[in-house]
Amino acid sequence: MVCRVTLITLRNSLATLRFDLAASLVVVLVAVPLSLGVAMASGAPLAAGLIAAAVGGIVAGRLGGSPVQVSGPTASLTVVVAGLVQTYGWRATCLITVLAGVVQVLLGALRTARAALAVSPAVVHGMLAGVGVIIALSQLHVVLGGSPQYSALANLIQLPGQMLDMHGHKVMVGVLAITVLLVWGRLPKPVQALPAPLAALLVAAGTAWLFRWDVTRIDLSGAVTAWAPPELPHGDWHQLAVAVLLVALLAGAESLLCCVATDGMHTGPRADLDRELSAQGVANMTSGLLGGLPVAGVIVRSTTNIRAGARTRWSAVLHGVWVLLFALCLGWTIKLIPIEALAALLVFIGVRTISLGHLKKVHGHHEVPVYVLTMAGVVLVGLAEGVLGGIALAALLALRRLTRVTVTKDAEPGGGVRATVSGSLTFLSVPRLTQELRAIPAGTAVLLDLNIDFMDNAAFEAVHSWRLDHERLGGTVTIDELHDEWYAMAASGRRVSRAKTPPRLTGRWRLPRPPRRPGESAGGEAHPLAPGAEESHRSTAPLGRPHAAAEPARNQPAHLFITCADSRVAPDLIAGGGPGELFVVRNVGNLVPRAEPGAPADFADAFADDFADDSVAAAVEYATRVLKVHTITVCGHSGCGAMAALLSGPAATAQLPRLHRWLRHGESGLGGLGDGGPEAMLDELGRRNVRRQLDNLMTCPGVAEQVGDGRLKLVGLYYDVASAQAHVVPPPLPDAPGTDAEPSPR
């Protein structure tokens, strides 16, 4: 047995490895050109990009918390890394990468990964768009045969002059690479098996070699083996600390956001964000020590990995191994790639980061100003400044939304006013709230609905003061709170508790007793249901009016629900339906009288009696022929009094002749009951009764025909009252013992 289990496990592992191996080969074709391009844009040695790709794949892939994420050098950090290289030098930048990795490991150990998800997506997308603009502007100069300037604004200013001084062959290589990238997605699927970035570099390099064009070549001679240890940066330690935190937070945030995005693209295990953050820290420490770029989760590679069929983390690990072998054994082939082609690849990537899809998403949530400010700040001022500005604006907008209050006023019958206040009531909303409430005419009967999620002391004082003034001038105020009763608690001097909703506020701020209505005694004693009806008129009726006012076609029931008259059974809650979705029939015991002429002899006197029941048959007929329902559900329940009466025998209903006759429609389930105690027998009879009533439904005219045609489905449910759960009752077996037993005599 153990050998068999081991063999099955080995077979499954080999099958999974087959998918991971194929996916890793696809990912490495994307990773190599992107890693070289990111290194070139960062001002780092080109080998640093390959080292980071190998370390990101092997270390982060093996230790990470996501089974499909692929890590490596990312374009979003090129601006930061380029600034660090220019300020401190490459070897010092490597030490900053190592320290950033240490920070990430500590943050992962402290389980702070979820905090990164609190950053507004508008800030993240705006930052990526800003970085994309910077990359595109700087590398466009390289495509045109020149050199990038020191800032994005300088690149933009110098661009017209660079276009006038274009170098022919170099421009042609760049344009050719961009053209391939643009048209590759429209080619036949078999051709697209080769990733577009690799295809663009191959076409550009092959064309330049074939026509002997004068282009700038890449040279990696000895770059991989000429390793030097990181060195301590020279400068203000405050600035160094800021640089370390910036690299750690940006790389960590991008990795975590990539984790969340990839979780929605596959059906495997969900990512462990804290483990992923720690793994990214270890990868950055390793990459920095080996002379590589900072590492982060890359959405392009991860998406490619998922689409290529990756199953486990071994795809990312194998991709890192292939990158390492390529750098060690095939590094000489890289010198055939024109630098202008790599620059064109980066221009294309930079432009792609400005996504209209992201802009539409943030527009739907009114966060376009955050997106624009972040992008403009990153381009014109700096990455850290732009991100901080975007976060600050996002916080201000969130605060503004939290303090926004909506006040609507509607006329009520009899000259009253219903005022509905929605939002969060804070001191910032007091001026508008007071203005709207004081506009209500004096002496008016006001129903004030507080549909709020918070009320501070200033807002309470404003509402309370207005209520006292309005009542002093002859008006009346009824305050109804739809959620936690902030006003009620504050008025009574008790502390607001969200764990337990307090009872409804009663007393002097209710409307005075209305004139006596039908059903109310002369002494003023109201019907017992009157308070509930009044509460429904105030709270529930406004919520149900939109459904009642909808078109009849939208509210036509599609389901007939036959259940017991027991008040504990709520069809809308059991079926999850809304107003108008269920056609409900209730009766004692959820019974369906048989409608076929050959009914058992026990039913003969019931049908011949003056009190023969046609209500269920009429409901079935109307539901199937007029409403054209799709399903008919018979729902029994635990602790049913009707089933208990059947178990007790005829004596239980001897003094109730009509109930006695009605319960005969459920007697057919009594035969063959087991002897497992009263509760077990009652439960078994309730479930068996559901099956019997489904059989009885088939005797109703037209039901069997619609079921046979697939137009109608019969469903049995058994509702357990104690657990508030409904279970599907399986249909009876054709020859199950006791299913066709004769009913016991009554």
* Cβ burial, residue 186 (10 Å; 0-12/13-18/19+): exposed
Indicate which residue of 20, 274, 484, 566 is catalytic: 566
Q: Minimal CA–CA distance to 664: which of 599, 585, 716?
A: 599
Q: What is the 3-state composition of the chain as percent helix, strand, coil, each rounded to the nearest 5? A: 60, 10, 30
- Give strand ranges (E) for 195-253: none
637 labelled catalytic: yes
What is the full DSSP assignment across 391-404? HHHHHHHHHHHHT-
Indicate which residue of 94, 258, 259, 640 is catalytic: 640
Q: Half-sphere exposure of 46 toward its Cβ, with a 13 Å CA cutoff? A: 22
Indicate which residue of 637, 661, 691, 692 is catalytic: 637
568 labelled catalytic: yes
Q: How far apart are CA 109 and CA 306, in angstroms?
A: 28
Residues 120, 372 contacting (CB under 8 angstroms): no
Find the radius of gyration of the CA atoms of the chain.
37
What is the full DSSP assignment across 8-54? HHHHHHHHHHHHHHHHHHHHHHHHHHHHHHHHHHHTS-HHHHHHHHH
Phi, psi of 598 (to 5 degrees): -85, 45
Chain centroid to Cα 139, Å, comes to: 37
Contacts of 672 (CB under 8 A, 6+ apart): 737, 738, 739, 741
Q: How far apart are CA 305 and CA 28, in angstroms?
A: 10
Q: How far apart are CA 719 and CA 722, in angstroms?
A: 9
Contacts of 78 (CB under 8 A, 6+ apart): 38, 41, 42, 131, 134, 135
Contacts of 266 (CB under 8 A, 6+ apart): 67, 68, 306
Phi, psi of 451 (to 5 degrees): -95, 70
329 labelled catalytic: no
Q: Minimal CA–CA distance to 35: which of 86, 70, 80?
A: 70
566 labelled catalytic: yes
- Give strand ranges (E) for 603-712: 631-637
The pair of structure tokens assigned to 720 is: 């357990």
Dihedral (Cα; 425, 430, 435, 436), 10-degree rounding? 0
Phi, psi of 562 (to 5 degrees): -105, 120
Chain centroid to Cα 462, Å, comes to: 38
Decide: helix, strand or coil at residue 571: helix
Indicate which residue of 94, 258, 259, 564 is catalytic: 564
The pair of structure tokens assigned to 98 is: 């190592």
Indicate which residue of 365, 545, 568, 625 is catalytic: 568
564 labelled catalytic: yes
Mind telling me the catalytic residues? 564, 566, 568, 637, 640
